Chains A and B, each alone.
Chain A
């Protein structure tokens, strides 16, 4: 990790940390609109295991134990930086191995490919495996992805988001009989998909989208719409019209108000906001 020399005012890529935000959170009452079951209490402090650690870092982590019947809490963990890997995911694994084996989170590839360890780190959504501990606040705050029902600790229920993903039918539609060999694309046609096929479905964007917070039951959200666009522009797909018909809906597509939190937060540097704008354009263009 090298020191970031880019302007803190002009964010050039989504990996740039927010350094000029005055407030860490919107000045709203913490309980405003929060259901009784979702209110967050104070948890316990887990001190460092008795060792002479020189570099100590604290993590404030959202905990929810479905078996206890208690509300979620924020636990504070101390970790020994000299004994721990460099990434936030390393810290979580360190805590699980050395402090509290019940700490629950999803992880798999540990290199930003699988999208399992998406969570809210210091107020923005990112993958724990590609965020350096050194980039976090003095006391790092770790919450699960925003606005999702929590199964345990940092594991949210993604059923609804995957249902929305399946709604856009993310596979090739073709009416013609199956060809003898693979369906060919020119390099230019293939290049159209660049920036849209790389999505790993971590749902950092959808769970960071205020429109999806308020209308997530019917608004498809940036992740599903980015995938919808990926199939709309695929030269081999023959269902463009039907796909647009399915999307042309006040809620499914048009609840996107171009807030662009999605583009700001994508850990793969993709641009869901641009994809959604292009879908809206396609719908306008076909009406002639």
Chain B
């Protein structure tokens, strides 16, 4: 039998059991979308380099974007952009000391979610329209 002294006290569970809430979920979403955007920044460089290299390289990258998986990733990227943008604006208000009533926290949280979906849809519709 181990004695109290020889045994480390267990740590009570944290993320394993704590209930996901709009507060914590949007916080982690803001981080994840930030990481996704960094990856897309790299892709943007690839896209621009391809455009500078020549028509053939550009056509290759364009065909990747146009593929089924490319389109899927683009929607994800656009959604990440708007989610991170709206979340960032929400944080700016907080940093200025506004919007800390619990009801406001939840209202602005849902507003960020809804706005991100709407803006992603609008961007998609616009780009489809412009591409003909």
Interfacial residues, chain A to chain B (CB-CB below 8 A): 9-14, 18, 21, 23-26, 28, 30, 32, 34-35, 37-38, 40, 62, 64, 66-69, 71-72, 120, 122-124, 141, 143-151, 156-157, 207-208, 210, 213, 257-261, 263-264, 271, 273-274, 277-278, 280-281
Instruction: Indicate with 1 or 0, residue by residue over B4-17, a CB within 8 angstroms of chain A CB atoms.
Output: 10011111111111
Specify the chain B residue showing the minimal Cβ separation from A271.
B100
Contacts of A274 in B (CB 8 A): 97, 100
Query: Top 7 closest A-B pairs, CB basis?
Result: A123-B19, A69-B2, A274-B100, A147-B14, A149-B9, A38-B10, A146-B14
Report the minimum CB–CB distance from A277 to chain B (whole Å). 5
19 further A-B contacts with Cβ under 8 Å, apart from A147-B14, A210-B14, A259-B27, are A11-B106, A23-B20, A25-B17, A32-B16, A34-B16, A37-B9, A37-B10, A38-B10, A143-B17, A147-B13, A260-B27, A260-B105, A261-B24, A264-B21, A264-B23, A264-B102, A264-B105, A274-B97, A281-B95
A261-B23, A263-B105, A278-B97 are contacts. A30–B16 as well, Cβ < 8 Å?
yes
Specify the chain B residue showing the minimal Cβ separation from A148.
B12
A21-B21, A264-B23, A277-B95 are contacts. A40–B103 as well, Cβ < 8 Å?
no
Specify the chain A residue showing the minimal Cβ separation from B30.
A257
CB atoms of A258 and B94 under 8 A apart: yes
Where chain A touches its partner, the secondary structure class is loop
CA of A147 to CA of B50, assembled, Å: 49
CB atoms of B15 and A213 under 8 A apart: yes
CA of A30 to CA of B18, assembled, Å: 12
CB atoms of B91 and A123 under 8 A apart: no
11 residue pairs from A and B, CB less than 8 Å apart: A11-B103, A21-B20, A28-B16, A32-B16, A69-B3, A143-B13, A149-B11, A150-B10, A210-B15, A264-B23, A264-B105
* Residue of B24, B27, B100 with most partner-chain A CB within 10 A: B100
CB atoms of A25 and B20 under 8 A apart: yes
Interface size class of B (residues with CB under 8 A): 35 or more
CB atoms of B7 and A69 under 8 A apart: yes
Contacts of A124 in B (CB 8 A): 18-19, 21
Specify the chain A residue showing the minimal Cβ separation from B19.
A123
CA of A34 to CA of B13, assembled, Å: 8
Specify the chain A residue showing the minimal Cβ separation from B9.
A149
CB atoms of B23 and A148 under 8 A apart: no
Contacts of B15 in A (CB 8 A): 26, 28, 210, 213
CB atoms of B103 and A10 under 8 A apart: yes
Report the minimum CB–CB distance from A12 to chain B (whole Å). 5
Judge whether B107 is part of the interface by a CB distance below 8 angstroms.
yes
Report the minimum CB–CB distance from B130 to chain A (whole Å). 35
CB atoms of B94 and A25 under 8 A apart: no
Contacts of B13 in A (CB 8 A): 34, 38, 40, 143, 146-147
Contacts of B91 in A (CB 8 A): 258
Report the minimum CB–CB distance from B29 to chain A (whole Å). 11
